[in-house]
Structure 1
């Protein structure tokens, strides 16, 4: 099964703000469904049922306190002139807290043979772009300072992703909650 560790976006006000931007930005791209909005702390790829239990056991050793992040700013990977993904970022403090949590995930999964393919950069993918759409710098610049609201981070999850012709479907395998 194809898996990843993620922090989900659950605040309805934040989700509504993101939907508004997805409707406002006029490009030929597939918006990410509201229920799939998340920060990927670490992508794990294909794993067996056996290893999934070891991953869950390792993730359950992570201790962290709940924290808040302010979702703001918008950008594109690899760059606005040739976008493949449009994303929303975070404030510096919240972003640093997410980076810290991603490092904890990385540390406990490393002994199981998992390591990230690139450094964690706090972002939520809001569009996936399959076709070449050209330079979208102007569209993004007009939204650069948008504030999408505050998300309380009280847990993270091990998720399974099933790819379908209409997009991915995510399933929760485990939830690790913040210590109060």
Structure 2
């Protein structure tokens, strides 16, 4: 099964901010469904049942404390002139905490043969662009230094991803909670 490790966006304030941006942002792109917006700590790809149990055991041993994430700024990958993805980022402290957690996930899964193909960049994708993209540099400037809200991260999840013609369907395989 296709799987990944993620932090879901559950804050009503942030969800409302994202919905507003998705309705106002001037772009010819498909918005990511609100229920599917998340931070991907690590993409695992296809894993079988045996590997799944090993992954669950490794993730369960990760110890972390809950922390707040402040959502701010917007950007695009690979760049605003030729975007394929539009994202919302986080402030510096939030980024450090998310990177630290992503490193814990990666180091716990590394002995099982998993590795990240690129360094973790704290962001949530809100648009995917399939067709010929327009330069959105000016549009992004409107959201420079805008704060979209704060979410307390109390857990992360191992998720299953089923690809369908109407988009991915995600389901939970495991929840790993912060230690008190």
For 1:32 and 1:97, how far apart are their aligned partners in 2? 24
**Does 1:109 pair with 2:96?**
no
Q: CA deviation at 1:132?
A: 1.2
Could you tell me how far 1:166 is from its partner in structure 2? 1.2
> What's the CA shift string for 1:46-71, capped at 9, x where partnerless?
11111011000000000000000100
Question: Which 5+ residue runs of structure 1 have no aligned equivalent?
Answer: none
TM-score (norm 2): 0.98
The runs of 5 or more residues in structure 2 that have no matched partner are none
Describe the superposition over 1:20-56 as per-residue Cα deviations: whole angstroms up to 9, x where unpaired: 0111112111111111110000001111111011000
Aligned residue number for residue 125 of structure 2: 125
2:88 counterpart residue number:
88
What's the secondary structure of 2:144's corresponding residue?
Answer: coil
Provide the secondary structure at the position in 2 that maps to 1:69.
strand
CA distance in 1, matches of 2:125, 2:84: 10
**What TM-score, normalized to structure 1?**
0.98
| Pairwise CA distance, 1:146 | 1.7
Is 2:16 the counterpart of 1:25?
Answer: no
Is the CA contact 2:27–2:134 (under 8 Å) kept in the aligned structure 1? no
Give the root-mean-square deviation of aligned CA atoms: 0.6
Show the 5 A alignment for 1:8-47: 8-47=8-47
User: Does the residue aligned with 1:152 lie in a helix, a strand or coil?
Assistant: strand
Stretches (4+) displaced over 4 A: none
2:160 paired with 1:160? yes
How far did 1:11 drift?
A: 0.6
Please show how residues 143-158 of structure 1 align to structure 2 within 5 Å.
Answer: 143-158=143-158
CA distance in 1, matches of 2:30, 2:164: 14
